[in-house]
Amino acid sequence: MNQPHNPNEDARGVDVGQIRELLRMSVAERAHEMVRVANLMAKARETAHLGRTVKS
Amino acid sequence: MTEFDPFEMCRILNDENVDYVVLGGFAANLLGSPITTRDLDVIPDRAKDNLDRLGRALTRMNAKIRIAGEPVATKIDGPFLVNMPHMLNLVTDFGDLDLTFTPAGRAGDYAGWRLHSSPALIDEGLVVEVASLDDIIDSKQAANRAKDHLSLPYLESLRDEIRRQAGE
């Protein structure tokens, strides 16, 4: 089955739209945004892990 | 879980007048990469005085050696750092910090990375030297690890986009 094509995806399969959005920010804004997301993802992983541990 | 706070780590390094360049995933983020990271990679100048200053900064961060299992608390000062040939992975009160003395790639040592780095304001009153995207890409290509293969397409597309926006 064909997957819907993302118009922002380049030949490498990278979403360039995301890169463009980051390039529109100042360096400091980018830094804070990426750190915020990294901490959020880590927290989500930890919560999921705790959930699995409690269930088992 | 320790919150990743590269700003505080850099602030302490700057406060202690450590000469270093930020490289790796966080440097790539500063340049526009969308791949998140949870560690700060830096290459410090290996000059004796600088390693003494770095030791003081690491003590302030409560740095411990990161290994599988519990981190190892030890005195990390200038003489200790002089004996580190390649790298030192640390856990600090502000997240993971990787010191790399001989990163893969053409840039080579601190002087080589510093040659193409640029200062960047990453927080209020906080300026750090950031490795060039070309040096980061070259280093990841040379390191040739599985995680580098995952991030390289993003970094190469970022470089293409920066060049396109610059009209190159």
Provide ipTM, 2 decimals: 0.91
Q: How many domains does chain A have?
A: 1
**Is B138 in contact with B27 (CB distance < 8 Å)?**
no
Report pLDDT digits (tens) over B20-45.
Answer: 999 999 999 999 999 999 999 999 99
* Domain-located, residue A27: yes
Looking at the complex, report in whole angstroms how far the Cα of residue A55 sits from the nearest Cα belonging to chain B. Answer: 21
Which of B157, B159, B160 to probe the A interface (max A CBs under 10 A)? B157
Q: What is the band of A54 on the pLDDT scale with cuts at 50, 70, 90?
A: low
Taking CB atoms and an 8 Å limit, are A31 and B158 in contact across chains? no
Report pLDDT digits (tens) over A25-37.
Answer: 999 999 999 999 9
* Domain-located, residue A1: no
The domain defined by B6-162 folds into Beta Polymerase; domain 2 (3.30.460)
* Domain-located, residue A29: yes
Report how far residue B141's alpha carbon sits from residue B136's, in angstroms, rounded to the nearest whole number: 9
* Domain-located, residue A36: yes
Model confidence, pTM: 0.92
* Domain-located, residue A26: yes
Q: What is the band of B147 on the pLDDT scale with cuts at 50, 70, 90?
A: confident
Q: Is the pLDDT of residue A45 over 70?
A: yes
Taking CB atoms and an 8 Å limit, are B34 and A22 in contact across chains? yes
CA angle A20, A23, A24 (to 5 degrees): 90
Domain ranges, residue A20? 16-55
Distances (CA, A) of B19 to B52, B55, B83, B113: 11, 12, 18, 12
Q: Is the pLDDT of residue A56 over 80?
A: no
> Any chain B CB within 8 A of the CB of A34?
yes
Report how far residue B54's alpha carbon sits from residue B17's, in angstroms, rounded to the nearest whole number: 8
Report how far residue A44's alpha carbon sits from residue B129's, in angstroms, rounded to the nearest whole number: 31
Give long-range contacts, CB 8 A cutoff, 24+ apart: A31-34. A31/B6, A31/B7, A31/B26, A31/B29, A31/B30, A31/B122, A31/B123, A32/B123, A34/B26, A34/B29, A34/B34, A34/B36, A34/B37
